[in-house]
Structure 1
């Protein structure tokens, strides 16, 4: 069984971090799970127990060490878990990206790297202190101590207001036109594109397209109850358009998606529907 617990960041880190997560799966030692992730934000994943890997090429798997940074996904990423596992996650806000990383988010989108490559010894210390924590409260305290050190080392830059506004827009109105979204956040189209690539890792069009797919996937999984008007807005131009989008993001038709079992992806959808992802 997959159990997930999530926690809000402290006020001083809320502009940089969306949530903290603890995923705990008490599975048989010989259990093999292959699923997909489609993350709207970059994550640190701290592997405390288990055999976890991501597919980097057909039938080639890598785990990127005990503390990988996984960039946001424009396309799904196949992941594999063997046996029981315990993973702690830190989800970052795009608007606060520059407070944590020197590299633009587009350099890390749809890929993963060992966090130590970016943060040096702080990444190893983060893993050790999280692993030594006695409970979830201790885990969160260890994470926040490391994050505060990182923000200070980066000069404590302020989160970008325009990108914070677009985070909300992408979640609440995934069918908005890119030009209208740029107008609402007070940027030119060119500025908007540039800031999205630097902080989200993808273009505004990809961000909205992904959000729209996830909104529909939530509805198909029964995690949201959109009104008739909202559901009509989510619908695509025709069935073939809807099928193309589901095949692009999940390599399945909507009908096949409704029937297939996706424990990890479904857990993420549930958190998203509850406003916790």
Structure 2
């Protein structure tokens, strides 16, 4: 298994991902491209876990997914498929039946509310087989993979600018971004204090988050703690933050119960397994977390990435 879009020092594939341009930031948190080559006949059985909707333009071999609607199979081929993943309340099991290339668009909280889609809650643990901007099953030609990862990502971003300009969705409420910041930086904080500090009732916060996240604030923070812990075990989190991530739990048995409940695994199995698809998702999320911790001003070093494995066209200071 090899990647042309980045990897860990141990050789596990990663996406080349970054923050979007300022124009897209109210609606999108990260953009990424992934290219993974597998030996003939090999498959990856793994999963994904997104807190917010994710649009994936998938090219290459067949994929299968265990969704809220049961087992679904997708055959993207060279023309690709546009797949809109709703937020997850548990790890969604995925199988990649061979080599693949993906454009990933991570939406911000509330970033899809103006796109005439089903409610966020209705898309929980589901995959909708279309691009949410034009309802097309096949991706726009701008998303077609290129050998140059940076050029590929820039082409995707340019097309997204066109799509958002045409859709003209309303800017998400600032409260949603503030709650995302809380989930990424302090998911053990008091929800009541968060509401109080913003001059709103807790019931109002519950209603707003439920509408735009599809889950309660309590579950969103519980999920955030588990995803941080998963990232640490997969070695795609800041090493110095791992002790604090562990202190969010009462003891090791508490960690185990939560990972079993949300990711259907144990800390030991997660640490020992390769988990390439889940690692890619967790690495993009941790990149967002590092960005937020740094004030959202620039890309910052991500020590879990192998600098020698970055796409050749990418400036080393970007990673």
Tell me the TM-score range normalised by the shorter chain.
Answer: 0.7 to 0.9
Please say if residues 35 and 78 of structure 1, whose CA atoms lie closer than 8 Å, have aligned partners that are also in contact: yes
Partner of 2:276: 263
Q: Rate the CA distance shift 1:142–1:218 in 2: closer, same or farther, 3 A.
A: closer
Question: Which of 64, 88, 106 pairs up with 1:53?
Answer: 64
Matched, 1:131 2:144: yes
SS at match of 1:78: strand
Partner of 2:191: 178
Partner of 1:248: 261
Matched, 1:111 2:126: yes
Please say if residues 126 and 142 of structure 1, whose CA atoms lie closer than 8 Å, have aligned partners that are also in contact: no
Unaligned runs of 5+ in 2: 3-12, 291-319
Please say if residues 6 and 276 of structure 1, whose CA atoms lie closer than 8 Å, have aligned partners that are also in contact: no
Please say if residues 64 and 71 of structure 2, whose CA atoms lie closer than 8 Å, have aligned partners that are also in contact: no
1:66-93 deviation line (CA, Å, top 9, x unaligned): 1010011111100000111111111110
Unaligned runs of 5+ in 1: none
Question: Which of 4, 29, 35 pairs up with 2:15?
Answer: 4
1:77-132 deviation line (CA, Å, top 9, x unaligned): 0000011111111111014332445433212121110125x4435x4574333227
Superposed CA RMSD? 2.8
Distance 2:93 2:242 in 1: 33
1:3-23 deviation line (CA, Å, top 9, x unaligned): 421132121111111111111
Partner of 2:102: 87
Please say if residues 175 and 208 of structure 1, whose CA atoms lie closer than 8 Å, have aligned partners that are also in contact: yes
Matched, 1:31 2:46: no
Bigger shift: residues 220-229 or 27-36: 220-229
Please say if residues 121 and 211 of structure 2, whose CA atoms lie closer than 8 Å, have aligned partners that are also in contact: yes
SS at match of 2:111: helix
Please say if residues 56 and 62 of structure 1, whose CA atoms lie closer than 8 Å, have aligned partners that are also in contact: no
> Number of matched residues?
274
Partner of 1:194: 207
Please say if residues 63 and 75 of structure 2, whose CA atoms lie closer than 8 Å, have aligned partners that are also in contact: no
SS at match of 1:67: strand
Distance 2:260 2:150 in 1: 40
Matched, 1:225 2:239: yes
Higher helix share: 1
Partner of 1:211: 224
Q: How far 1:162 sits from its partner (Å)?
A: 0.3
TM-score (norm 1): 0.86
1:180-213 deviation line (CA, Å, top 9, x unaligned): 2323444322221222122222211111011101
Matched, 1:71 2:86: yes
Q: Rate the CA distance shift 1:102–1:36 in 2: closer, same or farther, 3 A.
A: closer
Q: Rate the CA distance shift 1:272–1:11 in 2: closer, same or farther, 3 A.
A: same
Q: How far 1:271 sits from its partner (Å)?
A: 3.2
SS at match of 1:19: strand
Partner of 2:73: 62
Distance 1:237 1:3 in 2: 32
Please say if residues 165 and 185 of structure 1, whose CA atoms lie closer than 8 Å, have aligned partners that are also in contact: no
Q: Rate the CA distance shift 1:149–1:4 in 2: closer, same or farther, 3 A.
A: closer
